[in-house]
Chains A and B, each alone.
Chain A
Amino acid sequence: MALAPAVTDLEQLKDHPAVAPLLAWNKSAVQGVKYDRDEMTIYVGREFIRDACARLRDNPGCPFNYLSDITCVDWYPQEPRFEVIYHLFSIPKRERVRLKVKLGSESPVLESVFSVWPSCNFAEREVFDLFGIRFNGHPYLRRLLMPETWEGHPLRKDYPVEGYR
């Protein structure tokens, strides 16, 4: 049950196929990296997320051309409260990477990656529905799973498991 400690040093990880193109493009976009349990995580600044995704999709060496998933974690009551998580996959190179954006509770707004991958449609609507995070530029941002008239965002940690009675 020995787990190797996570690597968070950018210098050691700067040659990773997902980190290198982002660093070459814009150093300030990469706020941090983490390599833990054979999985790569890159923390991206909120204003860079769409461009970072477009860069990774069109990266010639290892194109991350497939968006597996978008989800979110609520770290209430910590601030910044939300982490929006993008799981990218490179079909030609069989490589995975996770992008993370931290968002504070005062303005949980993010740019949509719809122009990069149309497949984010349902995933972004789901995150909006269950966490209340807005995606600017999404063509049809409405509730997906809950009824249109529902109040609150059920997967937030301050939302009780049984719902509001």
Chain B
Amino acid sequence: MAHLTPTPALEPGQDKTMILNMGPQHPSTHGVLRVILEIDGENIVRIMPDIGYLHTGIEKTCEAKFYQQVVPLTDRIDYLCPLTNNLCYVLAVEKLLGLEIPPKAQWMRVLMNELTRINSHLVWLGTHAMDIGAMTVFLYCFREREDVLRLFEMISGQRMMTSYFRVGGVALEPPIGFFDKVRAFANRFPSRVDEYENLLTGNPIWVMRTKGVATITAEDAIALGASGPTLRGSGVDIDLRRDMPYTGYENFKFKVPTAKEGDVFARYMCRVAELRESIKIVGQALDGMPEGPIKANAPKVVLPDREKMKTEMEALIYHFKIVTEGFAVPEGEVYQAIESPRGEMGYYVVSDGTAKPYRVHMRSACMANMQLLPKMCEGRLLADVVAAIGSIDIVLGEIDR
């Protein structure tokens, strides 16, 4: 279990190796990750990730909030895919309540969720390429990311902490012209992905830095808890959107890209292919967007329309009740897992029958993926650590919560 041993202490006389701290403040650790390395020259003998620098106690905070007040907290867990977190949490609460969601709300959720995946993968691609030395890609990726953030701002008023999904539906009707903007983005995006691939896929420097680097087998990846593109890059064909559909994903047709090599390049190829699949799903969601309400018909749970509150006494009472007392959720427990851009994100919500969750636990895909790092890096060169960290696509906010 060499990859689990504590910070190695140097024995007197055995001064061949040295201990090096990478982080917590290091540009390629994507946040505040500290990696303790034992190195022999340029070669890595042992490596241990040390996390917890961004721990904010969100799980404890959730226990003191009403169910609907937890939604904005979930944004802040993974600030690159806030809507995926929103979705996982509201699905868990809806499962506890036994709530049916109208089709339009489900399709809106799929649409926004895939845009979030694109947003997250673009930040990953830009920073990962920059870590390895390809500066230009970062600027290209952020150009498209800006488009996605403008769409988020248009629909929810916020660029990052959107909180757009609510228990029982989505927060607002999409504004006029929103779908046209998404359509325009969906039309131009595939050619932009070609641009990224032109810069990287055939680039000999990129290939040399990524092919055969930080290889992991499918057995090791499963045993160490990997999920998402990190697992699919090792040849395991699993995607929760297709295999255990939620929020209407069974109505969409898309491929699940896999690669069998298990190295940094394979994971890169999987994620780039996912960008193309996501934009296809966005197109299908636009084509088949049903008409109808965007919120479930559950007046005790879902806030009433603003207009109704001005004319109907009952709506005003429900609004007052939900805001001041929350809504009670029947006793029980639910584990809802969805496919986040990084892998299997799971929310475990326990209710004791009151208006506040008794326990909310987030299963973080990054945290499990991080456990692959020693297996990937030991015996390799120091420069490969940066490539390996980039390839598992970590967000420290989600790991530390």
The reply to whether chain A is a binding partner of chain B is: yes
Measured CA separation A41–B359 after assembly (Å):
17
Judge whether A68 and B346 touch: CB under 8 Å: yes
B52, B97, B401, most chain A CB atoms within 10 A: B52
| CB nearest neighbor in A for B244 | A94
Known: A73-B350, A87-B363. A117 touches B335 (CB 8 A): no
Contact residues in B for A161 (Cβ distance below 8 Å)? 60-61, 63-64
Interface residues as binary, A46-89 with B (CB distance below 8 Å gives 1, 0 otherwise): 00000000000000000001111101011000000000010101
Residues of chain B within 8 A (CB-CB) of A121 are: 4, 371
Q: When the two chains form their complex, are residues B346 and A69 in contact, meaning their CB atoms are under 8 A apart?
A: yes
The answer to the question of A2 belonging to the interface, with a C-beta cut-off of 8 Å to chain B, is yes
- With an 8 Å Cβ cutoff, the count of chain A residues facing the other chain is 43
| Minimum C-beta distance from A9 to chain B (A) | 17
Specify the chain A residue showing the minimal Cβ separation from B237: A91
Q: Which residue of A lies closest to B301 (CB)?
A: A1
User: Given that A2-B98, A68-B346 are known contacts, is A118 also in contact with B6, CB under 8 Å in the complex?
Assistant: no
CB <8 Å contact, B98 and A3: yes
* A159-B59 Cα distance, complex, nearest whole Å: 13
Contact between A119 and B51 (Cβ–Cβ < 8 Å)? Answer: no
- As a 0/1 sequence over residues 44 to 85 of chain B, the CB contacts with chain A under 8 angstroms (1 = contact) are 000000011001010111011000000000000000000000
B51 touches A144 (CB 8 A): yes
* The one of B55, B236, B333, B337 that contacts A145, using a Cβ cutoff of 8 Å: B55
Query: Is A140 an interface residue when CB atoms closer than 8 A count as contact?
Result: yes
Binds A, one of B21-29, B149-157, B218-226, B387-395: B218-226
In the complex, residue of chain B having the shortest beta-carbon distance to the beta carbon of A57: B223
With A39-B334, A73-B350 known to touch, is A66 a contact of B222 (CB < 8 Å)? yes
Q: What's the least CB distance linking B247 to chain A, in Å?
A: 15
The smallest beta-carbon distance between B260 and chain A, in angstroms, is: 16
> Does B358 interact with chain A (Cβ within 8 Å)?
yes
Which residues on the B side are within 8 Å of A41 (C-beta)?
333
The answer for the CA separation of A3 and B371 in the assembled complex, in Å, is 39
Known: A3-B330, A94-B243, A146-B55. A154 touches B225 (CB 8 A): no
Q: For the complex, is B131 an interface residue (Cβ under 8 Å from A)?
A: no
Residue in A37, A91, A122 whose CB lies within 8 Å of B368: A122
Write out, one digit per residue, whether chain B residues 226-259 have a CB within 8 A of any chain A CB (1) or not (0).
0000000000101000011000000000000000
* Closest Cβ–Cβ distance, residue A10 to chain B (whole Å): 19
**Considering the chains assembled together, what is the distance between the CA atoms of A146 and B56 in angstroms?**
10
Contact call B335/A87, Cβ cutoff below 8 A: yes
Residue among B5, B298, B359 with max Cβ neighbours from chain A (10 Å): B359
Measured CB to CB, the nearest residue on chain B to A129 is: B52
Chain B residues with CB below 8 A from A68, complex form: 225, 335, 337, 344, 346, 363
Contacts of A118 in B (CB 8 A): 1, 4, 223-225, 371
* Other-chain residue from B51, B244, B348, B371 in contact with A85 (beta carbon distance below 8 A): B348
State whether the Cβ of B8 lies closer than 8 Å to any Cβ in chain A. no
Decide yes or no: A71 and B361 within 8 Å by CB, A91-B222, A121-B371 being known contacts: yes
Min distance, Cβ B95 to any Cβ of chain A, angstroms: 6
Provide the bound-state CA to CA distance between A130 and B98, in Å: 31
Which residue of A6, A37, A122 contacts B371 across the interface (Cβ within 8 Å)?
Answer: A122
Contact B335 A1 (CB under 8 A): no
Q: Which of B52, B63, B330, B371 contacts A146 (CB under 8 A)?
A: B52
The answer on a CB contact under 8 Å between B222 and A65 is: yes
Nearest 4 CB-CB pairings of A with B: A119-B225, A145-B52, A69-B363, A3-B98
11 interchain pairs, CB-CB under 8 A: A2-B98, A3-B98, A65-B222, A87-B335, A96-B335, A117-B223, A122-B368, A122-B370, A123-B368, A139-B4, A161-B64
Binding site for A on B (CB under 8 A): 1, 4-6, 51-52, 55, 57, 59-61, 63-64, 95-99, 222-225, 236, 238, 243-244, 298, 330, 332-335, 337, 344, 346, 348, 350, 358-359, 361, 363, 367-368, 370-371, 400-401
